Structure 1
Amino acid sequence: MARPGFVLDVDKRTPALLIPQGAGCRLEKLPVGTRVAYPAESLPALPDVDEAISAAVDAPLDSAPLTDRVAGAERVAIVFTSAHRPAPPMGGVDLRIRILEAVVGRLAEAGVKEVSLLAANGLHARPDTEALRALVGERVFRSFHDEGLLDTHDATDDSNLTEIGATDDGVSVRINSRLAKADLVVNVVIGTEPGHVGWNQIATGATATETVWAQLSDTSGKVTSQVEEVLSDKLSVLQIEVALDQSLYPERLAFLGKREWEWNLGDRAGLLALRQALNVAPHRVRRAFFERNPGAYGAIALVGGEVAKVSEMTRARLLEQQIVPIEGQADVMIAGPASTTEHNHDSVMNPLIAAWDVLGRTFGQHTGTPVVRRGGVMICFHPLMQAFNSRRHSASEDFFNTTLQETSDPQRIRDEFEQKFLSDAWYTHLYRAQGAFHGAHPLWLWNAMQPAREHCADIIWVGADRASAERLGMRAATTLADALEIASNAVGRQPSITYMHTPPSMVADVTGGVSA
């Protein structure tokens, strides 16, 4: 049985604890009384993935089998994820490939005339030919690519977008025409977090820029719900979802996922060697080291059927694996970004992405009550180097160096700069032809941080470039002690502190008032 997540109270005997800071990590002795929230261990993986795939397509939930649903169908569109994809397990086959091959095989047997595949990348960088080959596997790639039936979604291509409805507030719901014309859409989703399941992949990954942006810029969730209602009404979908376990590291880096007091001598030697290597390596080498050393992940759920039913089951399974009960909010929340995220695969973690990972993702992973109280302080760890991938993150570099130089006020950014990033011809060209993120990407990251910025009295980055922190409207400190000294203006000199010991992901279930 997998061990659940739990909260450790730091005392004098507690060793220095590991804190991630992007492409690296540090050991930090935390103040006595700090609460440390540890993620749960992975739930048991499915014993037979191929059997689960067969059940998903041949005996789906609240749905007829795939072959029955395509009887007489002329067009089927298969949608798969690229934005949230983890690296394939060492020596194994990506689960997505096995699902796609099973679906394509049954569609061929059923005699469907036209089968197309679409990578639902949305505003993320569009995968190139070789990335597509890796995503779908050699057999599927050879069968569909040269025929023009395997493609990546282009959120800016009006010629290949079809309006299927509108929200109550007049937001146009335009989706990729392959999906609009299909008799059936097979939506293959790889879920690592509860928010990545359900309609999300189609709603934000296969729609027009304005449809995506209306959802991302609405923090209430109202627009998203209405877009999903339109999709549910207009599309016939067979949903296949996979929930992954928490295995992020290979055996030689297993200590990164362990609880520090359980480290053996080999773990400590491995950490020492890792830190020495990372301290002298260029940043690109450090980042590549983590990207090229994935863990051999497993699937804890693999379900097919009607979208609402499938996503309900997958979300529940992910929450079962990730939820951690925490008693009371803290005055100070400590966290650091993971080595790589969906926004910087194969590229440097720039300050916007680092801030998004902590303030947008980690801060927001709770069941309704944030870990830190309103008016509290967040202390984050990252150097915030002013380094940007000029090909993938050109818009983010401009946003950081020009827009934020002028203002960090969200309303002014919306009023004066939003349209430029949404529609600029150069950013659109880079997105369509050069593998860049969409021009709206920095706005997306910035908007996602606003709940944390508005909630907290101060946000302080330890070990960060001071100019970068100031550009973000935040502050920098040399050490944790310095950060707590700065924070004392808002929370006093004996604040309650909670450290979110991620990765892997966890969802905080905070109960009660502010902790003592």
Structure 2
Amino acid sequence: MKAIDAEGLVKIYEKGDPPLFLMNGEGFRFVRVPPGSRVLYPRPPIPGLKDLRAEIEKALDNPIGMPPLKALLKPGMKVTIAFDDVSLSLPKMRPPDCRQVALEVLLERLAEAGVDDVHLVVAVCLHRHMHDWEVRETVGKKIFNAYWHKRSLYNYDAEDPSDNIVLGKTEAGDIVEMHKRSATSDLLIYVNLNLVALNGGHKSVGVGLVTYRCVRSNHNHDAQYHSRSFNDPPRSRMHHIINRVGRYIEKHVKVFHIEMTVNTDTFPAYLGYMQTQETTWSALDKISARITQASLSCTPLALNRKIFFANRAPYGVTSVQAGECEAVHEQTLRNLYRQQLITVEGQSDILIVPIPYVMPYSVHSVMNPILVYAMGLGYMFNFYMNKPLVKPGGSIIFLHPLEFKFDPVHHPSYIELFDKLQETRDPAEVDRRWSDELAHNPRYIELYRYHNAYHGFHPVSMWNWGAHGMN
């Protein structure tokens, strides 16, 4: 393959080149593409920080736009620490999770300052509540054992009328309704693990800790359709609305943000060749890839998922920043883009997109047809800044086995929406007809609150997620 950029990340596929090794859901495919096709490769992983704990402490002592954390603490104050849920990271991070390290440092600082009224809350919004064992994996056994059983470590419940509060409305009329404990704390600390530009910033609190009435304004069809793209916040209507909500919250609540970025070191060492270009493979890499592909093609998809979920990514944390929301997030995005952005000249007529075995809402579950759609036309189509990779009127080919299977525990409302899609698949019409109906369904509210199910509105939001890509 011939490189057409200075970094060797954009290449032209030529006759005689080896086949591409592409993910295909819970397996892989060897694919030859027409000569002249462009092949895009990610930038190699940036080295991670050598001492994460020291970097977290440094960020707490030298925050951006706020006093040091120590100066904000005093004995007897009420503090809530919120953190991202199981949708991050993908794949799951090799222990200890960077959120665990940050929480350990924070809890030590709070104890030293005489702060003992502390709650830790998983900011799930309308995502499923994490299982206890998932929380334990994320925060570590020590924190879990100290806080879970006395109910000061828990999942946020967006449907608990006694633990949510309306702060008011933004200048545009958005209802701001959020977790009462967080809103009434003397200090709210948010710990964010940032994988993509979509996340972090005001989205942490302004989505993670709010109710359906609040999140509806930025997850409806209009907001999703006019976001160009989710990973280009200045061009994202969704982010404009989220920022309004977040700024309103921070007029009423003192929030100290911690954001951490990671590199792209996704696979364990024995699968390291998956992160390199096929033309650089050794003979052993080629044999390993063939064996892996052949083995996974002979085993059931459910078993393949278990194999993939058992692997932990050796991510390296590349930056830690703390302090005021927007100042912190600006620096986070710079560090994120340093790892992730590559330059592509011109759009394509046809885009081939391999879809992996997992997306944010299929962790420890199956990627049902709606989630495959959302991953393809929502997430992966929107991995761009400025312009999409495929031109208007072009075609996208997704590689995925598309198993017709739904998880009845995690995704019960998805089953109903999928049946309703036989009536219409137009995202605007789906949103208009069924958002409130599914969101207010008592059965789905019960399953969301007590049985680890995604909220009734969630599948509609996922259908909205692909509206721009579908167009």
TM-score by length of 1: 0.84
Change (3 A) 1:50 1:5: farther
Would you say 1:430 and 2:430 are equivalent positions?
A: no
Would you say 1:178 and 2:196 are equivalent positions?
A: no
Listed one character per residue, the Cα deviations across residues 347-394 of structure 1 (whole Å, up to 9, x for unaligned) are: 111111112112111111111211111111111111222111111111
Would you say 1:310 and 2:328 are equivalent positions?
A: yes
Match of 2:345, SS state, is strand
Q: 2:461 aligns with which of 438, 444, 451?
A: 444
- Structure 2 regions of 5+ residues with no counterpart? 1-5, 225-236
- Structure 1 regions of 5+ residues with no counterpart? 455-516
Q: 2:283 aligns with which of 229, 244, 265?
A: 265
Q: CA deviation at 1:72?
A: 5.0
Distance 1:424 1:254 in 2: 46
Match of 1:175, SS state, is strand
Would you say 1:214 and 2:214 are equivalent positions?
A: no
Distance 1:300 1:113 in 2: 31
* Equivalences for residues 391-430 of structure 1 within 5 A: 391-400=409-418, 402-430=419-447
Change (3 A) 1:430 1:293: same
Q: CA deviation at 1:141?
A: 1.7
| 1:253 partner amino acid | L
In 2, are the aligned partners of 1:80 and 1:189 still within 8 Å (CA)?
yes
Listed one character per residue, the Cα deviations across residues 312-347 of structure 1 (whole Å, up to 9, x for unaligned) are: 111111111111101111111110212211110011
* Equivalences for residues 120-199 of structure 1 within 5 A: 120-199=123-202
Aligned to 1:368: 386
Q: CA deviation at 1:310?
A: 1.1
Distance 1:436 1:448 in 2: 19
Q: 2:241 aligns with which of 223, 226, 229?
A: 223
Aligned to 1:119: 122
Aligned to 2:108: 105
In 1, are the aligned partners of 2:414 and 2:459 still within 8 Å (CA)?
yes
Distance 1:254 1:180 in 2: 44
Q: CA deviation at 1:64?
A: 1.4
In 1, are the aligned partners of 2:381 and 2:469 still within 8 Å (CA)?
yes
Distance 1:67 1:139 in 2: 23
Aligned to 2:234: none
Change (3 A) 1:448 1:4: farther
In 2, are the aligned partners of 1:156 and 1:428 still within 8 Å (CA)?
yes
Distance 2:242 2:83 in 1: 20
Q: What is the root-mean-square deviation of aligned Cα atoms in Å?
A: 1.6
Distance 2:168 2:356 in 1: 38
Distance 2:116 2:266 in 1: 40
Aligned to 2:297: 279
Aligned to 1:354: 372
Listed one character per residue, the Cα deviations across residues 260-280 of structure 1 (whole Å, up to 9, x for unaligned) are: 111111111211221122112
* Equivalences for residues 34-113 of structure 1 within 5 A: 34-71=37-74, 74-86=77-89, 89-90=93-94, 92-113=95-116
Match of 1:195, SS state, is coil
Aligned to 1:17: 20
Listed one character per residue, the Cα deviations across residues 45-68 of structure 1 (whole Å, up to 9, x for unaligned) are: 112111101112222222212121
| 1:184 partner amino acid | L
Match of 1:96, SS state, is helix
Change (3 A) 1:267 1:122: same
In 2, are the aligned partners of 1:73 and 1:183 still within 8 Å (CA)?
no
Aligned to 1:468: none
Aligned length: 450
| 1:15 partner amino acid | P
Q: Percent of pairs identical after alignment?
A: 28
Distance 1:323 1:73 in 2: 45
